[in-house]
Amino acid sequence: MSGPGYSRRAVAIGGGIAAALGLTALGVTVPRLLHRHRATPYDDLLDQLVDREAAVKLGKIAYAKMGAMSGLLDLTPKAPVLARELRQRLERRTLAEVTRSDLAMGRLMEIKGWVLPETMVLLSVLAALET
């Protein structure tokens, strides 16, 4: 799928943007894809989120829930700890690839009942922490 001159990650993000542009059937407003975010030390990670605004909404809820969880991370998920974990997971891999791996391995989290891939949720939490 990825042609010459394009990284797999760029293609994955580009495909995501194309999908996001049409997310209207459920009344979802088109994400502000070109919204400029405040620069953070974690943009290498957060740039994998095509719609960071949506991820932040999800991440805030997830973060509130993680306080009551045990076993996922040893420490309360503050941004540096979380970023270190995510960099390990996402090293040389796209979010789509890691998500597929999460789903294959059954690494799931429930946020307000939604059954979601774990890394995607953690990345959303990081986005929320940095907003």
Partner 1 sequence: MNPFIDARSLPTGTVLEPDLAIVGGGPAGITLALALAHTPIKMMLFESGGLDFEAGTQALYDGKNTGVHYLPLNASRMRYLGGSTNHWGGWCRPLDPIDFEKRDWLPYSGWPFGLSELQPHFKRAQALVEAGSWIYDDADARMNAQAPMLKFAAGGVYTSWFQFSKTRNDVLPTHFGTRYGDDLKHVPNLKVFLHANATALTLAGNGAVLDTIAGATLNGKTFTVKPKATVLAMGAVENARLMLASNGVGNQNGLVGRFFADHPIPRDTATLVHFAGDLPGYYFNGTSVDGAILRATLAPTEAFKRTRRVLGSLATIENPVELNELDKAAIVTAALAVGADASNAKAFSIGCGLELAPDPERRLTLTDERDALGMQRLKLTNRVSNEDFSRYRDTLKEWGRQLLAAGTGMIRLNYDTRAEWEGALDWGDHHLGTTRMHADPKQGVVDANLKVHGIGNLFVAGSGVFPTYSASNPTLNLVALTLRLSQHLHGVLA
Interface with partner 1 (CB under 8 A): 12, 15-16, 18-28, 31, 49-51, 53-55, 57-58, 61, 95-96, 99-100, 103-104, 106, 108, 110-117, 120, 124
Do 83 and 126 meet the contact criterion of CB atoms below 8 Å apart? yes
Do 122 and 128 meet the contact criterion of CB atoms below 8 Å apart? no
Q: Which C-beta is closer to partner 1: that of 71 or that of 106?
A: 106
Report in angstroms how near the CB of residue 23 gets to partner 1 at its nearest: 5
Report in angstroms how near the CB of residue 113 gets to partner 1 at its nearest: 4
Q: Which C-beta is closer to partner 1: that of 77 or that of 119?
A: 119
Nearest Cα to Cα of residue 62 among 108, 131, 124, 117? 124
117: which strand partners? 108
Report in angstroms how near the CB of residue 85 gets to partner 1 at its nearest: 17
Residue 82 CB partners (closer than 8 Å, separation 6+): 73, 122, 125, 126, 129
Q: Which C-beta is closer to partner 1: that of 16 or that of 77?
A: 16
